[in-house]
Structure 1
Amino acid sequence: MQVRRRWPVDAAAGLLFALAAALLTHRLWPGPAGRALALNPSDQALDEWFLAYATRAYRGDFSLVTGMLNAPEGVNLLSNASLIGMGLLLAPVTLAFGAPVTFSVLVAGNLAATGTGWYLLFARTLGVHRAGALIGGAFAAFAPGMVSQSNAHLHMTAAWLVPPIVWCVVRLAHQTAAGPRTVRTGLLLGALVAAQFFVGEEVLFLTAVTLALFTVVFVAHARPSPRVAAPFVLGLGLAAGLAAVLLAYPLWLQFHGPQSADGGVFLPSYFSADLYGFTAISPLSLAGDDGAARLVSGPAEYTTFFGAPLLLVVLGATVWMWRRPAVVASAVTAVVLFLLALGPFVVVDAEATAQRGPFSLLSGLPVIESALPTRFALAAIPLLAVILARVVDAAITQTETLRLLVPVAVVAALVPLAPAPLPVVDRAPVPAFFTDGFWRVYAPEDGVVVPVPLPDPRDPDAMRWAAATGARIATPQGWFIGPYGKDGAAAVGVYPRPTSQLLQRVARSGAAATVTDKDRQTLHKDIAYWRAAAFVLDVRHPQAGALRQTMDGLLGPGERVEDVWVWRAP
């Protein structure tokens, strides 16, 4: 196909991916500020706060450790999946339309951009037939694991820099002599690695593991000429050197800086794949099985639900093309990743066994200890996409009898996995007190406004109030990862202050507290600790009456301002 004729076809493919992503997320679009992803609204509230915080960079605040959340101690953004790169990239959208709109754009945009990237890599770099490239790109973007992670795990679906990273590696592998092209490609690879660090560090980690495994298997199978080793190693060395320079300080800050935390928060045994899950159909697919949900930790972790038909097609394709090193390397690497996804102990049909998995050999290693085993299966998705793209290409271009049968078989295996639109729920609007700027009368810029009750990992929705101001006010507590476990280990959230505990009890029970002088004295200590300017209660809170009565007892009668009650801190 001539170059001038490629662009309309490629543009059409990109448009198709965008349309599919829009359909998948269409329930968010009628009112992003008043809707949330039903399966993970808490992480969405956190993501929206991160996106709003990124706009502070446009005002000159580039802090990677900030006291705007968990005031006054703050949070280390690099110890959290803080969407730094995406937040900076789409900050103009956030400033113009708000963080909920940016969040919705990213849910759809990550999938569309990832699919387009893989399609172009398959079609342009690997020379795969456009039909195979389209199928491979669609699977890489809309596989059940990617759709599942779209439930507010934007750092996991932001994989659109991975195809360019792979392109650089392929480009280095095809050079037989070191030269300026090697240098340029190596430096570009280093820059892309650094960029992916800020877009999604976990995706970068999984990509590195996958490429390392793939390279070992490919070399063992293909035994390429030693002439390619020198430019390949030189290019990778340049990439590693540049990435090390660019990321030295961020990595130090992440692991040793203020508010950094040791170890992982989540138990690998809890976030492990069930052996049965590989043959199950995701509940988020059109042909989904709701009963399969019991096999995983939650609806954002349907990472292994590939379905038996697809696995059989992949197996058949691998056997048919076993002489092709790239196909064999993809298949073997995928199997290794599947085994790692099983976690430290193999689980079968939701029942733990005494059989250790390969992941148990890695437990306790730096970085690995923070990894969630089930997500290794996400890294296998592009590998399966390679096999699907290659087998369709081989059938169409090299055979007469299979040119129709193989593509039909591949599509038939994929149809049950086609995603249904993501479910959403209505959520309470952010009070006009924040969206319309009334807060400025009661708190200075960057001042601390205390929501009543305070946000925590179980209910972080009040973090949206600060997000609606462009993170111009600070919030105590919240949903984040910090050094609040035993001996400074990583933990989710912070232990609440006494006043926060009091307000939480009222919110849970619906009964106003009998306020004592001791409670008032404790409140003043907490106000001094938080450096609070004001306390705010949404009049629509289900327990607004009891909470207002309690706050009146603590600070005296509050002020009704628009749709909130406000108490100035003394």
Structure 2
Amino acid sequence: MVDAVTSTASPRDARQTPDIDSPAPTGPPDQTPRPPTIAAPRWWQRPVVRDVGVALLFLAGAAAVLSGLLRDPNGRWLALNPEDQTLYEWFLAVDTGFWSGEVDLVTDRLNAPDGVNLLTNTTVIALGLLFTPVTWAFGAPVSFALIATLNLAGTAFAWHLLLARGLLLTRGAAMAGGALCGFGPGIISQNNSHLHMTAQWLTPVIVWCVLALARSSRPDQPRTNAWWTASFGLAAVVTVQIFIGEEVLFLTAVTLLLVTLGYTAARPRLARRLAPRFVGGIVLAAVAALVPLAYPLWTQFFGPQGVRDGIFSASYFSADLASWPAFSALSLAGSPGAADLTTGPAEYNAFVGWPLLALAVACAIWQRRDAAVATCGAAALGMALLSLGPTVVVNGHRTAIPGPYALIDGAPLVDGALPMRFALAALPLLAVIIAVAIDRAAAARRPLVRYGVPVAALAALLPAAPLPLPTEARPPLPEFIAGGHWRQCVPEGGVLVPVPLATPPEPGPMRWATAAHATFGMPQGFFIGPYGENGTGTMGIHPRPTSQLLTKALDGEPVTVTPADRAAAQEDVRYWAADCVALADGTAGGPEARVVLEQLFGPGTRIADAWTWRL
């Protein structure tokens, strides 16, 4: 059987996408014709060398997109979503604690004293562990900038490898498909601080494992280790992906389910032959993955600070139907008006653009007899429809038309994913359709097809090409933190109360802990926790009385401190187990807040550029 994963056949000889039901060679080995002798390729023509060249090309493209951030990671941040960047830099800082023995999945370094469940929040633990040396040496902002860059390049390259080695497409077709997967409008938009969504470089590996499992499940396939390798390989990759981003894994699973159902409908006889061993392999992979994941998943959903429900509105976070043919504001052909069709600059998920949509539809019609193309087209349509949410929205107007998502709205696990992000999973499916069309055109006899399809693809892809993400200077850290003077106020592992306290809309004080590698804890913060009605999930926590009093002073409201306020302040710092309160110079409303703090805790002590109160 032609194995699409390991075959060394020339891509141009593959006129049809290698399929799991490709005929196996028959006859004894001595009757198999010998291939013609081919001269050894020059060093620059070797596949590995070309792969390195493609990887460097994608890396250069990713560096161009993140150029503003890479020039000065510690001095600049992404202008369109600095709040989430602050959050993810804190995640990367707290993840370093795993190397120093702090392996608890519920950290006490935020939301003191209750803490934060790391898996309930998208803490990208695997990435934090991998980049711990960089974080320790250069700081979390540098790790963030490198991960954001490598996520784009790695995703594009991984899809390129799957298309080139798994589907045996030509190098140009695989590069075009990989570029769309790694630099498409949706993933570029998510790269505004959503590291867990742009780390999609394991998705092609998951697809590879599923394809290998399907091929090794044929009844006429010789019993080898391929079935076991695919099953356990799938379990290993899924396990790692859980600690990078569960939402990407969920979207991948839904997409593969739609593809499997579509392929079953297209090839029912083959599906019946494959089903026993294929389903058995999936079950084996699930059981093998649950062995290392049982405790983490229990902690996430049933452990301390765990949340079992989604906190975001499916109706609000749904894709506008008009956004699909529109151009992202972050692309070459984009316009600022596109912002009216989505919830924010990090959610341009469905903005494929009409030329790319038209190209994908034309390519799907042209190659409709190809089972892989037909299946990808149907799955892409399914994911696009799911992205529309419970009710269809057109140009900002919510219609009465129900969307397919209404059938699964509120189901367990489903409500943890935003409907509009289903559009992200449609992008690789469109990329496969277009890449297969480019590959077929390269072998076409008619010049109009051979040259017309690549030119049309280039014309459709260029308007969707990304612009560099805008950046701006980030506020400097106080010398109290940057110079390590905080150690005179709070011991490592203690609790520091910054003024103001961090909240989801204003998480800036969390940068203090990030700069100190999260070696001290803080009350409140930007996180998901079980603080809603009946323990449902919420973003952040309701501020305690002292936090509310200080917020009023910082906002310029007149504050009269009463004995009740002093008693509440003492109760609050005891609840937080706080060691120190700190107010840095330059804080908006700082002088007014200092007066309130002195009335609550007495005269402050000057340390570097901050007023402090030891408790």
Aligned position for 1:217: 262
Amino acid at match of 1:513: V
Amino acid at match of 1:25: L
Matched, 1:144 2:185: yes
Aligned match for 2:490, one of 418, 440, 443: 443
Q: Is the 8 A contact 2:552 2:558 kept in 1?
A: no
The count of corresponding residues between Structure 1 and Structure 2 is 568
Aligned position for 1:400: 446
Aligned position for 1:457: 504
Aligned position for 2:238: 193
Amino acid at match of 1:451: P
Aligned match for 1:112, one of 153, 165, 182: 153
Report the Cα distance in structure 2 between the residues aligned to 1:174 and 1:370, rounded to whole angstroms: 33
How many Å apart are 1:149 and its aligned residue? 0.4
Q: Deviations over 1:53-107 (max 9, x none)?
A: 0111111011101111100011111111111111111111111110011111111
Matched, 1:329 2:375: yes
How many Å apart are 1:275 and its aligned residue? 0.6
Matched, 1:26 2:67: yes
Aligned match for 1:205, one of 229, 250, 253: 250
Q: Is the 8 A contact 1:443 1:534 kept in 2?
A: yes
Report the Cα distance in structure 2 between the residues aligned to 1:196 and 1:168, rounded to whole angstroms: 14
Q: Which runs of 5+ in 1 are unaligned?
A: none
Aligned match for 2:540, one of 490, 493, 498: 493
Matched, 1:57 2:102: no
How many Å apart are 1:530 and its aligned residue? 0.4
Aligned position for 1:542: 588
Matched, 1:164 2:184: no
Indicate the SS of the match to 2:261: helix
Matched, 1:181 2:222: no
Aligned match for 1:389, one of 435, 458, 473: 435
How many Å apart are 1:435 and its aligned residue? 2.8
Q: Is the 8 A contact 2:125 2:243 kept in 1?
A: yes
Q: Which runs of 5+ in 2 are unaligned?
A: 1-9, 11-39
Amino acid at match of 1:288: G
Question: 1:52-451 to 2 correspondence within 5 Å?
Answer: 52-175=93-216, 176=218, 177=221, 178-223=223-268, 225=270, 226-401=272-447, 402-451=449-498
Q: Is the 8 A contact 2:212 2:226 kept in 1?
A: no
Report the Cα distance in structure 2 between the residues aligned to 1:537 and 1:31, rounded to whole angstroms: 27
Report the Cα distance in structure 1 between the residues aligned to 2:104 and 2:467, rounded to whole angstroms: 39
How many Å apart are 1:360 and its aligned residue? 0.7
Indicate the SS of the match to 1:352: strand
Q: Is the 8 A contact 2:528 2:538 kept in 1?
A: yes
Q: Is the 8 A contact 1:269 1:343 kept in 2?
A: yes
How many Å apart are 1:503 and its aligned residue? 1.0
Q: Deviations over 1:413-445 (max 9, x none)?
A: 111111111111212122232232211121111
Amino acid at match of 1:439: W
Matched, 1:13 2:54: yes
Q: Deviations over 1:19-60 (max 9, x none)?
A: 111010111123212222111111111101110001111110
Amino acid at match of 2:262: V
Report the Cα distance in structure 1 between the residues aligned to 2:566 and 2:138, rounded to whole angstroms: 40
Matched, 1:567 2:600: no
Indicate the SS of the match to 1:333: helix
How many Å apart are 1:553 and its aligned residue? 2.1
Q: Is the 8 A contact 2:181 2:428 kept in 1?
A: yes
Aligned match for 1:467, one of 514, 519, 522: 514
Indicate the SS of the match to 1:199: coil
Structure of higher CA gyration radius: 2
Instruction: Give the structure-1-normalised TM-score.
Output: 0.97
Report the Cα distance in structure 2 between the residues aligned to 1:246 and 1:261, rounded to whole angstroms: 20
Report the Cα distance in structure 2 between the residues aligned to 1:220 and 1:261, rounded to whole angstroms: 38
Report the Cα distance in structure 1 between the residues aligned to 2:582 and 2:452, rounded to whole angstroms: 64
Q: Is the 8 A contact 2:480 2:584 kept in 1?
A: no
Q: Which moved more, 1:233-242 or 1:299-308?
A: 233-242
Of all paired residues, the percent bearing the same amino acid is: 49
Q: Is the 8 A contact 2:116 2:527 kept in 1?
A: yes
Q: Which moved more, 1:511-520 or 1:141-150?
A: 511-520
Instruction: Give the structure-2-normalised TM-score.
Output: 0.90
Amino acid at match of 1:179: T
Indicate the SS of the match to 1:355: strand
Q: Which moved more, 1:412-421 or 1:432-441?
A: 432-441
Q: Is the 8 A contact 2:529 2:537 kept in 1?
A: yes
Runs of 4+ deviating beyond 3 Å:
1-4, 222-231
How many Å apart are 1:512 and its aligned residue? 6.0
Amino acid at match of 2:507: P
Report the Cα distance in structure 1 between the residues aligned to 2:93 and 2:186, rounded to whole angstroms: 27
Report the Cα distance in structure 2 between the residues aligned to 1:111 and 1:120, rounded to whole angstroms: 14
Per the alignment, do residues 224 and 424 of structure 1 end up closer, same or farther by CA in structure 2, a change over 3 Å counting? farther
Q: Deviations over 1:101-155 (max 9, x none)?
A: 1111111111110001000111112100000000000000011000010011110
Report the Cα distance in structure 2 between the residues aligned to 1:27 and 1:469, rounded to whole angstroms: 25
